[in-house]
Amino acid sequence: MKVVVNSQVVLSRVPEGPIAPYLVMFADSLSATGYSVAWIHRHVLLGACFSQWLGRKPVALQDITTDHLTRYLRYRARRLQPRCGDHAALVHLVEFLRREGVVPEERLAVPEPFSVEHRVRAYEVYLREERALAAATIVYYVRFARDFLKYRFGAKAAKLSCLSASDVVRFVRHQAPRLHRKCAKLMTTALRSFLRYVRYCGDVDADLAAAVPVVPNWSMASIPRAIAPQQVRQLLASIDRRTATGRRDYAIMLLLARLGLRSGEVASLKLEDIDWKAGLLSVHGKSGHRNELPLPADVGKAIAAYLKRDRPHSASRYVFLRVRAPACAFQGGGAITSIVRHRLQRSDVDAPTFGAHQFRHGLATEMLRRGASLGEIGDLLGHRHLQTTMIYTKVDLEALRELAPPWPGSAP
């Protein structure tokens, strides 16, 4: 007996269990977010099987947890060959049920008072609500704060009043050799932030942040790895703009190359950030800093072409969306970096790196060679301090050669 779920899905039997009444709505939501018919059928079939298993236990809708997903997939694996994506499909189903209000949000375990996790969560709230730091910065700061407290207290209660300067020094000496120099530098910055927070809360009187050792990080020690203008032209020419993906990626590459945006700034760009009449682009930089930039004609044309022809129908306000379902915004700058890596690998461009930041370096380097001042470069890149822009003076090799005296004994 065949059962029609909706116009795209037909099952061989009537769905049973607590989720069965919601499978039609689930199928419709998948269709609305751009999933193919095959993927919708797979999601619904898996959901029907999961619902039947829940009904046999029995488990009510309001009692479903992530543990039930794991237990069902183990049960299923004993009878059928596991398929990649089964867990993600069930997570998608449960998230849909939560949005519909039929499955409550799963309560996270409340950490014990004064435990390491309790202290870390309080610090995270402080960074987000009091300091208003970027989400990526909070992730790093919290990570190192947790590592420090676990190193000092282990599984015991984290009595912050017991912290001392020697604890701080020992932790840095233990961790720094294991980390890349830049990551070690970030660790010490995060540790100072946490120790200032501890003093701010009144848990300690001493300024333990001053006890954090300095990790050697010579200013302007390396030359920025910048992609050359001809390499940018070659990369842009290699993108097939006859496809929807190609037109989206071409617009992204132009934003990186022409305006020097960070990958995260491209990912967070929203429709209201583009002032088409004034020809301006509002960029959300680090720490909530906003920067108004002129929108070049070729960049605006590429974005408009993508928006008119290729952007999936979505309620999302973000400019760039995933091509594959679900049609949603990118999770962060990492997705933009992945697009850059993919495009460079498909082209014959021998770029310095596979990252997105090389376009930013390339733009600054080319501006400097064309006579732009450091202030103008800093304004375009959204630098808040001139010292940040100073590193690009190292790449103006022609000017440096004119200033360099001849080597003793060299030919005149």
* Residue 35: active-site member: no
* Residue 322: active-site member: no
Residue with tokens 């049609």: 327
Among the options 76, 152, 311, 360, which is catalytic? Answer: 360
Tell me the residue ranges of DSSP E strands in 218-304.
274-275, 280-284, 290-294
* Residue 392: active-site member: yes
Among the options 247, 248, 262, 322, which is catalytic? Answer: 262
Residue type, position 261, single letter: L
**Residues 346-352: contacts with CB under 8 Å, at least 24 apart:** 346/238, 347/234, 347/235, 347/238, 348/234, 348/238, 349/227, 349/231, 349/234, 349/235, 349/238, 350/231, 351/227, 351/231, 351/235, 352/225, 352/226, 352/227
* Residue 286: active-site member: yes
* Residue 68: active-site member: no
Among the options 41, 42, 248, 383, which is catalytic? Answer: 383
CB contact at 8 A, 45 and 32:
no
User: What residues have CB less than 8 Å from 13, skipping those under 6 apart?
Assistant: 1, 3
Q: Which two tokens stand for residue 195?
A: 């120790």
User: What residues have CB less than 8 Å from 237, skipping those under 6 apart?
Assistant: none
Pick the closest to residue 340 from 267, 410, 244 (CA basis): 267
* Residue 225: active-site member: no
Among the options 196, 199, 258, 286, which is catalytic? Answer: 286
∠ at Cα 104 (98, 108), nearest 5°? 110
Among the options 42, 43, 247, 357, which is catalytic? Answer: 357
CA distance 234 to 237: 5
DSSP codes of every residue in 362-379: HHHHHHHHTT--HHHHHH
Start-to-end CA span in the chain (Å): 95
Q: What residues are labeled active site?
A: 262, 286, 357, 360, 383, 392
